[in-house]
């Protein structure tokens, strides 16, 4: 049975604030629970999730090495050596970075629940036609976010680690990264990739607000490509392969956003 949007006209302003407060409390509590678990098992998490990216046998490096041999490029894309040493140079360095990745990890793991709380708060305010168009938003937002997280962790982050770990201005200079900067590079890249993949959802919201249209998105497709390439160049190592690998899925998401915008417009026309 399809759940119909509720009418909230009789709910007072303070009632809305109270509901929002409790939904935020639930979201924060869920994130804290996961963050505490991650903090307790911080050694296993750091060794498995973060430190493994310094090794040449990380799955991403193996894949690109196989791809390089398949296309006849030899060892061009192989990670033969990643010279990175990590260190903590402050008394609170390891503790603070443990807190940081625990909270980020908690948000990533509980994102579907957090988004559900946000969606449940705004859902009663939607009209019936808007509710039908937005049906399944929690599912698709969660899928897009998790795909973005996977893309950030298995594609963007390893490319960044490999590049910066292999780059040298002189043989007399070694790469001794602080544990804060190394873990922040991976967690930040992974998180923002997940948020970046929410582009179709953002386009859906902007279309519903009347700020963009499918025609507008098609008209400025080339401009969007330029912007995506610039952003890709900023968040990835300075090589063409990394830039293209990031730009392709983002432009695909842009095209999906156009389809979503067109669907919303058709729904509006059908309901007058």
Strand duo 176-178 + 85-87: pairing: parallel
Q: Is the pTM of this model over 0.85?
A: no
Mean pLDDT of 196-221: 86
Of residues 234 and 222, which shows the higher confidence score? Answer: 222
Q: Answer yes or no: are the C-beta atoms of 45 and 69 closer than 8 Å.
A: no
* Alpha-carbon gap, residue 272 to 267, rounded angstroms: 9
Residues paired with residue 177 on neighbouring β-strands, in sequence order: 86
Amino acid 5: pLDDT: 46
Q: Answer yes or no: are the C-beta atoms of 124 and 8 closer than 8 Å.
A: yes
Mean pLDDT of 221-229: 87
Mean pLDDT of 48-56: 89
Most confidently modeled of 110-119, 157-166, 206-215? Answer: 110-119
Residues 6+ apart with CB under 8 A from 258: 203, 214, 217, 218
Note the pLDDT tens digit of each residue in 238-252.
666 667 777 888 889
Mean pLDDT of 12-34: 86
Please say if the pLDDT value at position 196 is more than 90: no
Please say if the pLDDT value at position 160 is more than 90: no
Residues 6+ apart with CB under 8 A from 220: none
Amino acid 8: pLDDT: 46
């Amino acid at each position: 049975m399809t759940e119909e949007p509720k009418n909230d006209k009789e709910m007072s302003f303070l009632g809305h604030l109270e509901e929002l407060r409790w939904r935020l409390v639930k979201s924060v509590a869920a994130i804290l629970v996961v963050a505490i678990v991650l903090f307790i098992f911080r050694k296993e998490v750091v060794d498995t999730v973060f430190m493994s990216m310094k090794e040449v046998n990380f799955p991403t490096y193996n894949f690109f090495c196989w791809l390089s041999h398949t296309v006849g490029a030899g060892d061009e894309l192989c990670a033969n050596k990643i010279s990175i040493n990590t260190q903590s140079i402050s008394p609170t360095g390891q503790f603070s970075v443990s807190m940081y990745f625990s909270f980020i990890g908690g948000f990533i793991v509980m994102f579907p629940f957090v988004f559900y709380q946000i969606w449940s708060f705004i859902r009663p305010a939607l009209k019936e036609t808007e509710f039908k168009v937005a049906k399944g938003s929690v599912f698709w937002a969660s899928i897009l976010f998790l795909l973005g997280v996977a893309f950030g962790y298995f594609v963007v982050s390893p490319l960044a680690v490999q590049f910066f770990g292999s780059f040298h201005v002189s043989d007399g200079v070694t790469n001794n990264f602080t544990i804060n900067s190394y873990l922040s590079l991976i967690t930040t890249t992974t998180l923002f990739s997940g948020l970046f993949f929410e582009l179709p959802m953002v386009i859906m919201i902007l279309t519903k607000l009347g700020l963009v249209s499918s025609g507008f998105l098609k008209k400025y497709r080339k401009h969007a490509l330029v912007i995506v390439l610039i952003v890709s160049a900023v968040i990835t190592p300075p090589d063409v392969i990394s830039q293209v690998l990031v730009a392709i899925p983002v432009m695909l998401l842009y095209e999906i956003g156009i389809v979503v915008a067109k669907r919303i417009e058709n729904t509006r026309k059908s309901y007058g």
